[in-house]
Amino acid sequence: MKQSQRSPLRPIPYIFFLLLLLASCGDTSADTESASVTEPSDVTPAVTEPAEPTNEDLVRSQIGTQDFGGETFRVVSRDAGGAFYGTAGEQENELYFAEETGDVLYDAIYRRNVITEELLNIEIEPVWSGSLTEDVTKVIEKNVMAGDDFADAIIHRLDFTMNIAAEGYLVNFYDIPTVNLSNNWWDQTIISNFTMFGDKLYALCGDIVFYDDYAVQAIFGNTRIMSELDMEIPYQAVRDGTWTFDMFSKMALEAEADLNGDGKIERETDRVGYINHSDAVLHTVYAFGERLSKTEEDGTITVNYGNDDIIAAVDTISAFIAALSDPVGDGCPALFRAGNVLFFPEMIGGLSGMREMQDDYCVLPLPKADESQKTYTAYVSNGWTTCYSIPMTAPNTSRIGTVLEVMSAVSADTVTPALYDIMLNEKFVRDAESQEMLSYVWASKAYDLAGDLAWASDLRSVYQSIASTGKNNYTSSMEKKLKTINKKLDNFLAAFSET
342, 222 Cβ separation under 8 angstroms: yes
Whether 11 is covered by a domain: the verdict is no
The predicted-structure confidence for 207-226, as pLDDT tens digits, reads as follows: 999 999 999 999 999 999 99
pLDDT in the model for residue 425: 64
Task: Please tell me whether residues 210 and 221 are part of one structural domain.
Answer: no
State phi, psi for 37 to the nearest 5 degrees.
-100, 125
What are the residues whose beta carbons fall under 8 Å from the beta carbon of 193, sequence distance 6 or more? 295, 446, 447, 448, 449
SS3 276: strand
Task: Please tell me whether residues 457 and 317 are part of one structural domain.
Answer: yes
The predicted-structure confidence for 350-374, as pLDDT tens digits, reads as follows: 988 888 899 999 999 999 999 999 9
Task: Please tell me whether residues 67 and 189 are part of one structural domain.
Answer: yes
Q: With left for phi above 0 and alpha for psi between -120 and 50, is residue 344 left, alpha or beta?
A: beta
Whether 328 is covered by a domain: the verdict is yes
Alpha-carbon torsion (336, 80, 115, 55), positive or negative: positive
Alpha helix positions (H), 5-93: 14-24, 55-63
Task: Please tell me whether residues 266 and 392 are part of one structural domain.
Answer: no
When mean pLDDT is compared across 4-8, 460-464, 470-474, the lowest value belongs to 4-8
Task: Please tell me whether residues 265 and 187 are part of one structural domain.
Answer: no
Task: Please tell me whether residues 240 and 358 are part of one structural domain.
Answer: yes
Task: Please tell me whether residues 374 and 396 are part of one structural domain.
Answer: no
Task: Please tell me whether residues 134 and 250 are part of one structural domain.
Answer: no
Average pLDDT over residues 301-316: 94
What are the residues whose beta carbons fall under 8 Å from the beta carbon of 204, sequence distance 6 or more? 173, 179, 186, 187, 190, 191, 387, 388, 389, 404
Average pLDDT over residues 117-144: 97
Whether 431 is covered by a domain: the verdict is no
Whether 257 is covered by a domain: the verdict is yes
Whether 45 is covered by a domain: the verdict is no
Give the end of a domain, one of 395, 413, 431. Answer: 413
Q: Which domain holds residue 285?
A: 217-379+446-497
Average pLDDT over residues 34-47: 50
Taking residue 177's Cβ as centre, other Cβ atoms within 10 Å add up to 10
How many residues does the structure list for the chain? 499
Using CA atoms, how far apart are residues 246 and 249, in angstroms rounded to an integer? 5
Strand residues in 385-451 grouped as ranges (E): 386-389, 445-446
Task: Please tell me whether residues 96 and 64 are part of one structural domain.
Answer: yes
pLDDT in the model for residue 273: 97
pLDDT in the model for residue 71: 97
How many domains, in total, are found in the chain?
A: 2
Taking residue 13's Cβ as centre, other Cβ atoms within 10 Å add up to 9
Q: Is 429 a residue whose pLDDT tops 90?
A: no
Whether 466 is covered by a domain: the verdict is yes
Tell me how far CA of residue 445 lies from CA of 125, 205, 212, 235, 292, in angstroms: 31, 12, 9, 19, 14
Q: Is 426 a residue whose pLDDT tops 60?
A: no
| In the chain, % of residues over pLDDT 70 | 89
Q: Is 8 a residue whose pLDDT tops 50?
A: no
- Give the type of residue at 177: P
The predicted-structure confidence for 221-250, as pLDDT tens digits, reads as follows: 999 999 999 999 999 999 999 999 999 999
Whether 17 is covered by a domain: the verdict is no
Task: Please tell me whether residues 209 and 244 are part of one structural domain.
Answer: no
Tell me how far CA of residue 273 lies from CA of 233, 235, 264, 471, 489, in angstroms: 14, 18, 14, 20, 37
How is 337-373 classified by DSSP, letter by letter?
A: HHT-EEEEEEEGGGGGGGTT-SS-EEEEPPPBSSTTS
Strand residues in 57-152 grouped as ranges (E): 71-77, 122-128
Q: What is the CATH number of the domain that holds 61?
A: 3.40.190.10
How is 279-325 classified by DSSP, letter by letter?
A: THHHHHGGGGT--SEEE-TTS-EEE--S-HHHHHHHHHHHHHHHHSS
pLDDT in the model for residue 442: 93
Whether 102 is covered by a domain: the verdict is yes
Task: Please tell me whether residues 406 and 301 are part of one structural domain.
Answer: no
pTM confidence score: 0.87
Task: Please tell me whether residues 207 and 232 are part of one structural domain.
Answer: no
